[in-house]
């Protein structure tokens, strides 16, 4: 009997196949554990555009305020000037108004310089008031006139006037911009016509959207142009050119030099006055005192008690008077001939001088008690 071997069945293939390895690695997603995303950076051109936009908006805001405030300021200036001119002959009252007019001009120009410098950072020099170049009332009047004719101050006034005029245009344009925005939403409210705010005009509803868009474009363009024009005009008016800067520096240097020379003259005059009024009389007084002391020594030498040893130097004195009533005197005189006259009632005299009765140098000695020694 023949038997056939049946081969064992092959194992069944699994339905799930092992995943094949990827040929290229998959980059990690942004923000996963592989590493956080870096911070976004702003390009210099973007920052520059933002700075110009912010500066333009700041200029428009300032112009809107200057348009109102500047009108009041220039009205006050015109009033002060008219009152000063009309009342100048009436007891001089007009001079007070003219003086207030000059200082009001300076204050207005100073505010304009500070406003423009804070907005545009041009590096403008600070506006300084003119100082008196000499003391007294005449020096003060001269400083007032110098302030009235000061070029930088009048440039500040011109810039303030330009800003005021531009500001008067900004306010209506801002109102037109707001009216245009209202017209954009007018079709949503229905009706046949739409009344434009501020202007009071009536526009058909079907034209409201178009008029609103055109109004926005025109008003925004005009406001942008005014902002640019304001920057250009203020730079042209307030920023001095190189020649003007040199002239101003030369003028300031000349003023400082004149002030220094004038201060030196005043100091020299003071020193001369002090020398003449103080030191010279004192020197004369000292000389007189020394002369009196010398005369006192020449004329009178008295001793009432004690012991004195002295010497006269220099030339021989013309006359010496010695009166000793008690004590001891040792006196040395310059080597010369002397005509000695003595009166010794008590005591002792030791005369060792070169005695010559015809000598012009006279020595008178009176001893009532004590001891006198004369030597040469």
Sheet with 307-311, strands from edge to edge, namely 307-311, 328-332, 371-375, 348-351
Angstrom distance (rounded) from CA 36 to CA 39 = 9
Residue 17 has pLDDT above 80, yes or no: no
Please say whether the beta carbons of 301 and 321 come within 8 A. yes
Angstrom distance (rounded) from CA 317 to CA 293 = 13
The whole-number pLDDT of residue 285 equals 64
Angstrom distance (rounded) from CA 42 to CA 58 = 22
Please say whether the beta carbons of 344 and 367 come within 8 A. yes
Mean pLDDT across 126-147: 83
pLDDT digit string (tens) for 64-99? 999 999 999 999 999 999 999 888 877 678 889 999
Handedness of CA 206, 209, 211, 214 (dihedral sign): negative
Please say whether the beta carbons of 120 and 234 come within 8 A. yes
Residue 227 has pLDDT above 90, yes or no: yes
Domain ranges of the chain: 48-239, 300-375
Please say whether the beta carbons of 168 and 64 come within 8 A. no
The whole-number pLDDT of residue 132 equals 78
Instruction: Measure Cα distances from 310 to 7, 129, 273, 330, 373 in Å.
Output: 163, 72, 42, 6, 11
pLDDT digit string (tens) for 157-170? 999 999 999 999 99
Residue 275 has what DSSP assignment?
Answer: I
């Amino acid at each position: 009997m023949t038997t056939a071997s049946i081969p064992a069945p092959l194992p069944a293939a699994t339905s799930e196949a092992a995943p094949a390895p990827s040929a290229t690695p998959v980059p990690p997603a942004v923000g996963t554990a592989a590493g956080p995303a870096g911070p976004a950076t702003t390009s210099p051109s973007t920052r520059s555009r933002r700075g110009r936009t912010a500066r333009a908006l700041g200029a428009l805001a300032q112009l809107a305020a200057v348009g109102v405030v500047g009108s009041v300021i220039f009205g006050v200036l015109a009033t002060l000037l008219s009152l000063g001119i009309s009342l100048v002959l009436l007891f001089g009252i007009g001079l007070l108004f003219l003086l207030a007019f000059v200082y009001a001009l300076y204050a207005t120009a100073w505010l304009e310089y500070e406003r423009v410098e804070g907005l545009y950072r041009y590096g403008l020099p600070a506006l300084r008031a003119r100082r008196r170049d000499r003391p007294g009332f005449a020096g003060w009047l001269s400083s007032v006139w110098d302030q009235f004719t000061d070029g930088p101050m009048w440039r500040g006034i011109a810039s303030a006037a330009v800003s005021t005029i531009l500001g008067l245009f900004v306010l209506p344009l801002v109102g037109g911009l707001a009216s245009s925005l209202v017209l954009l939403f007018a079709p949503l409210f229905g009706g046949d016509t739409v009344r434009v705010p501020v202007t009071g005009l009536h526009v058909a509803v079907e034209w409201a959207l178009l008029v609103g868009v055109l109004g926005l474009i025109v008003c925004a363009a005009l406001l942008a142009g005014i902002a640019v024009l304001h920057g250009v005009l203020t730079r042209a008016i307030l920023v001095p050119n190189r020649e003007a800067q040199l002239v101003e520096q030369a003028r300031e240097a000349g003023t400082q030099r004149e002030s220094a020379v004038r201060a030196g003259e005043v100091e020299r005059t003071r020193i001369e006055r002090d020398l003449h009024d103080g030191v010279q009389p004192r020197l004369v007084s000292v000389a007189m005192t020394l002369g009196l002391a010398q005369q006192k020594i020449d004329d009178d030498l008295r001793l009432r008690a004690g012991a004195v040893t002295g010497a006269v130097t220099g030339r021989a004195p013309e006359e010496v008077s010695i009166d000793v009533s008690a004590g001891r005197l040792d006196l040395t005189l310059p080597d010369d001939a002397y005509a000695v006259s003595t009166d010794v009632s008590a005591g002792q005299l030791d005369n060792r001088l070169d005695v010559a009765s015809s000598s012009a140098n006279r020595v008178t000695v009176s001893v009532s008690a004590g001891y006198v020694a004369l030597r040469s």
